[in-house]
Amino acid sequence: MTLPHPPRPDRRRVLAMAAACAAAACLPAHAQAAFDLAQLMQSLAKVKAGEATFVETRTVAMLERTLESSGRLSFESPDTFVRETLKPRREKIAIVGNTVTMSLGSRSRTVPLDSVPEAAVIMEAIRGTLTGNRDAIERHFAAAVTGSPQRWVLELKPREPRLRELVISVRLTGAQSLVREVAVAMADGDRSVMAIEPLAPGAARPASATS
């Protein structure tokens, strides 16, 4: 007796399954894994120095209008960050290590960074992110990363209860190794959003405001 031939598999289905398996095998490991803090910090740490312009809009809970300022930022690994406000008036904050120098016009004052806790939280968040300093980020903040290398969001919340009484969160948004926005939510209801435009090496910089 001749046994019946087994049913022939659908050729198109077999080809589709083979193609799907081949595509999965060709995907790089990082494309299959979720984008996380370690990957983000590694990408950011590759940039050792940079400059940018910024425009910051601040909403003050006690006022009925928003305040806008603009200027320039610069950073250099491992621990230098400078924010220079040019409008509406000239101010400068320069941080190196745990030392911060605040300048207003011709006057300046240098103090330990941790002596101004509100500023320290915000500046450590920005500086730590710009320089890809994972140790500093995890030491000071509970960090959560969402998105992808092409469009990521880093949410930072201060670990210390006393600092959470000042700053609720710092939310940084970027693409690849560039930070493009910093949003700060304060415990008193104030909020600021800073849009950042990186400057290409050798690009013209905004002129300093006169004192």
First to last CA, the chain: 105
pLDDT in tens, 143-168: 999 999 999 999 999 999 999 999 99
- Element at 7 (helix H, strand E): none
CA distance 82 to 123: 10
Amino acid at 54: F
| Number of neighbouring beta carbons within 10 Å of residue 49 | 12
Q: How large is the average pLDDT for residues 167-192?
A: 96
The arrangement of secondary structure in 34-78+115-199, i.e. its CATH architecture, is: Clam (2.50)
Q: pLDDT value at position 10?
A: 53
- Element at 180 (helix H, strand E): strand 178-186
pLDDT in tens, 21-58: 333 333 344 444 679 999 999 999 999 999 999 999 99
pLDDT in tens, 63-121: 878 899 999 999 999 999 999 999 999 999 999 999 999 999 889 999 999 898 888 89
What does the domain layout of the chain look like in residue ranges?
34-78+115-199
- CA dihedral 115→79→206→183, nearest 10 degrees, is -60
* Whole-structure pTM value: 0.78
Distances in whole angstroms, Cα of residue 60 to Cα of each of 69, 98, 150, 184, 186: 13, 28, 32, 12, 10
Distances in whole angstroms, Cα of residue 71 to Cα of each of 86, 95, 129, 206: 5, 16, 19, 8
- CA 76 to chain centroid, in Å, comes to 15
- Element at 41 (helix H, strand E): helix 37-45
